[in-house]
A and B are shown apart, each in its own frame.
Chain A
Amino acid sequence: MTIHLKYWKQDGPDVPGHFEEYTLNTVNEHMSFLEMLDVLNEELQLEGKDPVEFDYDCREGICGSCNLVINGQAHGPKAKVACCQLHMRNYKNGDKITIEPPRAAAFPIIKDLVVNRGAFDRIIEAGGYVSVKTGSAQEANAIPIEKEKSDAAFDYATCIGCGACVAACPNASASLFTGAKLAHLNHVPQGEVERSNRVVAMVDQMKEEGFGDCSNFAECEAVCPVGISISAIAEMRRDYMKAMFS
Chain B
Amino acid sequence: MKLDSKIPEGPLEQKWSKYKKDMKLVAPNNKRKYEVIVVGTGLAGGAAAASMAELGYNVKSFCIQDSARRAHSIAAQGGINAAKNYPNDGDSIWGLFYDTIKGGDYRSREANVYRLAEVANEIIDQAVAQGVPFAREYSGLLANRSFGGAQVSRTFYARGQTGQQLLLGAYQAMMRQVHAGKIEYLPRHEMLDVVIIGGQARGIITRNLVTGEIKSWEADAVVLATGGYGNVFYLSTNAKNSNVTAAWRAHKKGALFANPCYVQVHPTCIPVSGDYQSKLTLMSESLRNDGRVWVPKKKGDDRHPNDIPEEDRFYYLEEKYPSFGNLVPRDVASRNAKIVCDEGLGVGETGLAVYLDFRDAIKRDGRETVEAKYGNLFDMYENIAGENPYERPMRIYPAVHYTMGGLWVDYNLMTNIPGLFATGEANFSDHGANRLGASALMQGLSDGYFVLPATIGNYLADVKPGTRHGTDHTAFVEAEKAAQENIDKLLSINGKRTIVDFHRTLGKIVWDKIGIARNKEDLESAIKEIQELREEFWANVYVPGEKNNYNKYLEFASRVADFFELAELMAKDALDREESCGCHLREEYQSEEGEAIRNDEDFSYVAAWEYKGINGELKEELHKENLEFEFVELKQRSYK
Residues of A within 8 A of B (CB): 11-12, 28, 30-32, 34-36, 38-39, 41-42, 45-46, 50-51, 53, 55-65, 81, 85, 87, 89, 110-111, 114, 116-118, 120-121, 124-141, 143-147, 150-151, 153-154, 157-158, 160-161, 184-185, 188, 190-191
Residue of B nearest to A189 (CB): B131
In the bound complex, residues from chain B placing their C-beta under 8 Å from that of A59 are 239-240, 278-279, 281
Out of A61, A111, A134, A191, name the residue touching B126 (CB < 8 Å).
A134
Q: Would you give the shortest CB distance from B613 to chain A, in whole angstroms?
A: 32
Residues of B within 8 A of A (CB): 47, 50-51, 54, 65-70, 72, 74-75, 84, 86, 122, 124-131, 133-134, 136-142, 158-159, 161, 163-165, 168, 171-173, 175-176, 178-179, 185, 187, 210, 239-241, 273-274, 276-279, 281, 380, 383-384, 386, 449-450, 453, 498, 500-501, 542, 544-545, 549-553
Query: How many angstroms from the CA of A57 to the CA of B555 in the assembled complex?
Result: 13
Query: How many angstroms from the CA of A125 to the CA of B158 in the assembled complex?
Result: 24
B129 near A137: Cβ-Cβ < 8 Å: yes
In the bound complex, residues from chain B placing their C-beta under 8 Å from that of A30 are 273-274, 386
In the bound complex, residues from chain B placing their C-beta under 8 Å from that of A139 are 125
Q: Would you give the shortest CB distance from A62 to chain B, in whole angstroms?
A: 5
Q: Would you give the shortest CB distance from B221 to chain A, in whole angstroms?
A: 18
Out of A42, A46, A58, A126, name the residue touching B239 (CB < 8 Å).
A58
B65 near A63: Cβ-Cβ < 8 Å: yes
Q: Would you give the shortest CB distance from B489 to chain A, in whole angstroms?
A: 18
Q: Beyond the given A134-B173, A150-B140, could you list 12 further A-B residue pairs with CB under 8 A, ordered by the A residue number? A: A35-B278, A57-B241, A59-B239, A61-B380, A61-B383, A85-B380, A111-B550, A130-B130, A135-B51, A141-B86, A145-B140, A158-B161
In the bound complex, residues from chain B placing their C-beta under 8 Å from that of A41 are 553
B75 near A45: Cβ-Cβ < 8 Å: no
In the bound complex, residues from chain A placing their C-beta under 8 Å from that of B129 are 130, 132, 136-138, 140, 143, 190
In the bound complex, residues from chain B placing their C-beta under 8 Å from that of A46 are 498
Q: Would you give the shortest CB distance from A130 to chain B, in whole angstroms?
A: 5
Q: Would you give the shortest CB distance from A4 to chain B, in whole angstroms?
A: 19
Q: Would you give the shortest CB distance from A28 to chain B, in whole angstroms?
A: 6
Known contacts A57-B65, A116-B66, A132-B130; is A141 also within 8 Å of B142 by CB?
yes
B130 near A57: Cβ-Cβ < 8 Å: no
Out of B124, B163, B176, B501, name the residue touching A140 (CB < 8 Å).
B124
Listed A/B pairs (21) with beta-carbon separation below 8 Å: A28-B276, A38-B278, A41-B553, A53-B552, A57-B240, A59-B278, A60-B380, A63-B74, A65-B65, A121-B187, A125-B179, A127-B179, A134-B54, A134-B449, A137-B126, A137-B129, A139-B125, A140-B125, A143-B129, A144-B141, A154-B159
In the bound complex, residues from chain B placing their C-beta under 8 Å from that of A38 are 276, 278, 500
B74 near A58: Cβ-Cβ < 8 Å: yes
Query: How many angstroms from the CA of A56 to the CA of B86 in the assembled complex?
Result: 39
Query: How many angstroms from the CA of A61 to the CA of B281 in the assembled complex?
Result: 11
In the bound complex, residues from chain A placing their C-beta under 8 Å from that of B175 are 121, 124-125, 128-129
Out of A53, A62, A135, A150, name the residue touching B133 (CB < 8 Å).
A150
A145 near B552: Cβ-Cβ < 8 Å: no
B553 near A140: Cβ-Cβ < 8 Å: no
A146 near B140: Cβ-Cβ < 8 Å: yes
B386 near A188: Cβ-Cβ < 8 Å: no
In the bound complex, residues from chain A placing their C-beta under 8 Å from that of B277 are 35
B131 near A185: Cβ-Cβ < 8 Å: yes
In the bound complex, residues from chain B placing their C-beta under 8 Å from that of A63 are 65, 70, 72, 74-75, 239
Query: How many angstroms from the CA of A111 to the CA of B550 in the assembled complex?
Result: 7
B66 near A117: Cβ-Cβ < 8 Å: yes
A140 near B128: Cβ-Cβ < 8 Å: yes
